[in-house]
Structure formats: C-alpha cells, structure tokens
Amino acid sequence: MPRAGLTPDVVVAAAVALVDAEGAGALTLAALAKRFGVALPSLYKHVGGLDDLHGRLALVAARDLGTALRKAATGRSGRAAVAAVARAYRGYAQAHPGCYDYLLRPRPDDAEHAAASQEILDVLYAVFDGYSIRSGPPAVDAARLVRSTLHGFVALENAGGFAMARSVDRSFEKLVDALDTALSHWGGSTARERVKTGLETGDPTS
Amino acid sequence: MPRAGLTPDVVVAAAVALVDAEGAGALTLAALAKRFGVALPSLYKHVGGLDDLHGRLALVAARDLGTALRKAATGRSGRAAVAAVARAYRGYAQAHPGCYDYLLRPRPDDAEHAAASQEILDVLYAVFDGYSIRSGPPAVDAARLVRSTLHGFVALENAGGFAMARSVDRSFEKLVDALDTALSHWGGSTARERVKTGLETGDPTS
DNA sequence: AACGTTGGCTAACATACTTAGCCTTTTCGC
DNA sequence: GCGAAAAGGCTAAGTATGTTAGCCAACGTT
C-alpha cells in the first residue's frame, strides 16, 4: 500500500477545489477520498472529520478574503479604496463560490478564524479613515453596513438571486456608489431631522 | 394503525417549527417523523422527499416575508417606508431564522417561488416611488442594493457575525439611515463626476 | 356492504460519517 | 545500519439518514 502523500493542507486544498467547482453541498469525505484514490477513513489521519474540515475551509476563506481586501486597499483611499475593496470582495466570492459559503460557518471558538475576521475589519477601518470615520461606534456601524452590503450582494449573486434582465456588474457599480455616498454622509445628520410627515424625503443639500 | 392526520401543509408547518427552533441543519425526515410519531417513509405520502420539503420551505419563507414587507410598507412612504420595510425584513429573519435560511434555495424552476419573490420586489418598487425612482434600470439597481444590504445584515446577524461590543439594533438603524441617504441621492450624479484619480472605471453608461 | 383510494407500515438498499483496530512504511535515535 | 516509534495506509463494523418497493388497514363513496 503505497503512501498517497496526504497532509492536512493537501486535503484542505482538494476540498477547496471541490467546493469551488461543484458547490459547498458537494463536499463529502467520500468524494475527497475518491479524488486521492484512498479509502475514506484514511482521511481521518489528516483532518478531524467533516466538521473540522468545514472549519478549515472557513479559515481559508477568511484568510484569503482578508488578503485580497488588504491588497485592494493598499495605496488607495476614499471612494477608490471602497471601490477596490468592494470589487475584490466580489471577485473573491466569484472565484471561490464554494469556499465563500463557508466563510460564516467557523468552528466554535476558532481563534484563528477570529483573527482572520479581524484582519478584514482592520482593512475596512483603514478605509473609513479616508472618510474621517475614526474608530468607535460609528466605525463599527459603518463596518457592519459595508460587510452586510457586500456579503448580501455576493450571496444573492451566487444563489442566482439576480434574475432581472439588467447587468449585474452595473448594479454592483451603483452599489459601490451608494456605499461611497453613505460613508461620505456618515458623520452628518443625514436623514434624521427630515422625519416629519412620513412623505417627505427632503432635499439633501449635499 | 391509527391515522396521524398528516397533510402536506401539516408536514411543512412542523418543518418550519423545527428549523426555526433548531436551525436549518436540524431538518431531517427522521426528526419530523419522530415528531409525528410515524415511521419515516410515511412522510413520502405527503411530500416528495427532502429536496421537495426544502423547496416548500423556501416558498413559505418568500411568501411570509413578502406579506410582512407589504404590511410594513402600507400607508408609508419615503424614509418611513424604508425603515418599516427594513425592520419588517429583519423582524422576519429574527422570528424565523431557520425558515429564512431556505429563502434563497428554491426548487429549480419554481414558478410559485418566483411569484413570491416578485411580490417582494414589487413592494420595494413601490417604496422607491417615494424617492422618485421609477421603474427601469435605476429601480432594479436600487432593489438589488436594498435586498443585498438587508439580506447581508440578517445573514450576518443570524450567523453570529456581529461580535463587537456595540448594539446591533443601533447599527441597524444606521443602516436604515444609509439606505435612505443612498436612495435620496439615487438620481443625482452622486459620485460620478469625482472620477479623476484614475482608479475608478468612470463608465456608468447605464 | 363492497370497493377503490388514501395513508399508514415493514423491509431492503444506498450513501455517508465515524470509530476501532491492524499492518506496512517511514522516520529517527543510537 | 538497526531497531523502536510514529505515521499513514487499510478493512471491518456501527450509526444515521434518505429513498424505493410493496403490503395492508382505514376511510369515503356509492
């Protein structure tokens, strides 16, 4: 019985390739074992099981996404930074749809995943600096907005949720515009004092 | 062997209760059968199998969410409408976290699910009317933004993605503000003429 | 009351994850 | 080199789940 040269990293890499090619639901230990030409239980010498593998994928996704965002934001600020980060985010989700699906399903109490998530947050905070949104609750709110918007878009896109006959790329560019607009108005009392009749959207004297 | 009084609707209702109580991953035919005190294969007299059941949950989620959004938008416009719809969206996702998870996983070519999704879109379009965003590409872009933002927020919230010590409710209110701001600026040349650093695409010929 | 439909059931099978335990290969200390 | 230990393959067996096939009782209709 010759050795197959498996390591945890090799197994995880194959899992990444599998989920990106066939979707997160296609990840089974049986399929992985077949790809390596080994018996299914042999995989347990390298990963702790299916849950462990899921957690490793979540970690890979968080790290790779963080790296991509960091690169995109390097040397840019303001709208250019937001646009670059947003496109990098979507680009990662498009290039690794299966992997991305595991991003939000880390192992419980996974410190490494938490660190990778923090890295993503740090990039966003750095970008907000260009909008004069410094740390504190406003920055947390802004980060939650940006993450929500980007995650929602790519989740809907990957799920086939954009069926209308309209360029998804253009819609995404509009979304980037909207994020820039929102962040530009972050500090100011944007829409708060315009609440009166419920009909009046007001005229935003930008 | 006395009859258990099962119907497709009863089975689906139990599935809804199960996933909302224990998460989408807890839905198994075995668990459902146990709840009814019947043997597992008996369920096949009422639903086509697990995939069929998933599709039915997706339909329930789309319909219930659409109804909730429609109610929320009734008699409101502008920011008040956006705020009400957003809170209703989040409220549904919080009240039915398991069911919500199936929203984006309809059966292939499910016309009923498509109709329910259209109902949701129609509510958004009606809201956009208050921002003078009429039908056409701008409305599609706006709908995609709002859906993305709301879906992303509740997905992150339900996944436990908001770990920072900051009120999630307040962040959500800020998100509503941001949506209102973005929609208020929708027609205007918001960030379009700021193309100069050479990093933007600067090609919004929508 | 008979009959057909409906809705239960058991049996059997397929797939997948996991654990236990064996055995060969490789590695490493001496 | 050599031998022990560790590592990495294997089979076997058990558990959980979904699915299909086919049987039989309960129910409704005539």
Q: What DSSP assignment string belongs to A10-24?
A: HHHHHHHHHHHHH-G
Closest of A173, A28, A166 to residue A98, by C-alpha:
A28
Residue in A140, A199, A204 closest to B77 by CB? A199
- Report long-range pairs for A8-13 (Cβ below 8 Å, ≥24 apart): A8/A46, A8/A47, A8/A56, A10/A46, A11/A36, A11/A43, A11/A46, A11/A47, A11/A53, A12/A47, A12/A53, A12/A56, A12/A57, A12/A60
In this complex, the answer to whether residue B42 has its CB under 7 A from any atom of chain D, a nucleic strand, is no
Which stretch of A79-83, A98-102, A200-204, B92-96 has the lowest confidence by average pLDDT? Answer: A200-204
B142, B152, B162: residue with CB nearest A152: B152
CA dist A91 to A61, A97, A153, A165, B129, Å? 13, 10, 12, 21, 32
pLDDT at B203 over 80: no
Predicted local distance difference test score (pLDDT) of residue B194:
39
pTM higher than 0.85 for the full model? yes
Q: Which residue is nearest to nucleotide C20 (CA to C1')?
A: A41
User: Over the stretch B13-54, which tens digit does the pLDDT of each residue have?
Assistant: 999 999 999 999 999 999 999 999 999 999 999 999 999 999
Give the pLDDT mean for A7-19.
98
State percent of chain A over pLDDT 90.
Answer: 87
Q: Is the pLDDT of residue B87 over 50?
A: yes
The total of other beta-carbon atoms located within 10 Å of residue A168's CB is 16
**R_g (Cα) of chain A, nearest Å:** 21
Looking at residue B188, its pLDDT comes to: 56
Distance from the A41 Cα atom to the nearest Cα atom in chain B, whole angstroms: 24
- Cα first-last separation, chain B: 65
* pLDDT beyond 70 at B11: yes
Whether B205 has a pLDDT exceeding 60, the answer reads: no
As a whole number, mean pLDDT of residues B184-192 equals 65
CA B151 – CA B159 distance, rounded (Å): 12
Please list, in sequence order, all residues whose beta carbon lies within 8 angstroms of the beta carbon of residue A198, skipping any fewer than 6 positions away.
Answer: B76, B77, B78, B79, B80, B81
The nucleotide whose C1' lies nearest the CA of A27 is: C16
